[in-house]
Amino acid sequence: LYKRIGANPTETKPDGSPRYTLPLIQDASTGAVVSDSALIAEYLDATYPDTPKLFPPGTAPLQYAFMDALLRGTLNDLLQLCVVKSNSFLNPGSREHHRRAISTSFGTEKIEDLVLDEKALWAKARVGLAKVDAWYQKGKGEGPYLMGNTICFADLVFASYTYWPKKIWGKDSTQWQDMLTWNEGRFGVLAESLAKFETVI
């Protein structure tokens, strides 16, 4: 599909080959084809100026730096727990592809190697979320989001980590119920404030 509609690969795999990911959009009103969620958000902000902006003017550099810190470090332990758990929900064809993609991306032989000491990994995931909480706390309660009361793209990236564990372990699971208490319950409050963005309309 990527090649057929002329989309750019989003990333390069460790072996140098292109990586094609979702989401990908083709805007029927302009003909534009855009891949990568952040670039899609930037495109929509620019093309439909009368809608709320996910990258308000001047915020893109800091938002990209924040997302990089989240995705390449702080949330890595939670990510490992989530990707391994998610594998079991996929259909057989996707499951194999996912196993290969995850093993390549993390440099492991099999994905189970990522969660050998699950208890220790949960403890590290908790430390990671405490760090994110400290960043959010810098907002001094001016609103639940990074920019206070204005939602931005980076909040939505973090929201995927308040939605994903709830979805895969289940809202009544010990894992999710435990997470809700983290950061003196602030993780649960933040998850709640981001929950309204979980539904695609």
Ligand X SMILES: N[C@@H](CCC(=O)N[C@@H](CS)C(=O)NCC(=O)O)C(=O)O
Separation CA 101–CA 200 (nearest Å): 26
Nearer Cβ to ligand X (10/183): 10
> Rule CB under 6 A: is residue 21 a binding residue for ligand X?
yes
Closer residue to ligand X, CB minimum distance, 22 or 46: 22
- Helix, strand, or coil here: 24? strand
Separation of alpha carbons 141 and 22, rounded Å: 34
26-34, 36-44, 171-179, 185-193 -> range binding ligand X (CB under 6 A) = 36-44
94 binds ligand X (CB under 6 A): no
Interface size with ligand X, residues (CB under 6 A): 8
Q: Rounded to whole angstroms, how far apart are CA atoms 79 and 129?
A: 11
Phi-psi region of 184 (alpha: psi -120 to 50; beta: other; left: phi over 0): left
Considering only 5, 12, 18, 22, the residue that binds ligand X (CB under 6 A) is 22
Name which of 1 and 201 has its Cβ closer to ligand X. 1
Of 18-26, 49-57, 88-96, 116-124, the segment contacting ligand X by CB under 6 A is 18-26
* Cβ distance to ligand X smaller for residue 101 or 115: 101
How far is the C-alpha of 189 from the C-alpha of 187, rounded, in Å?
Answer: 5
Cα angle, residue 127 at apex, residues 147 and 64 outer, rounded to 5°: 35
| Closest distance to ligand X from the beta carbon of 102 (Å) | 8
- Measured from the Cβ of residue 27, the count of other Cβ atoms closer than 10 Å reads 14
Judged by the rule CB under 6 A, the positions of this chain that interact with ligand X are: 10, 21-23, 36-38, 101
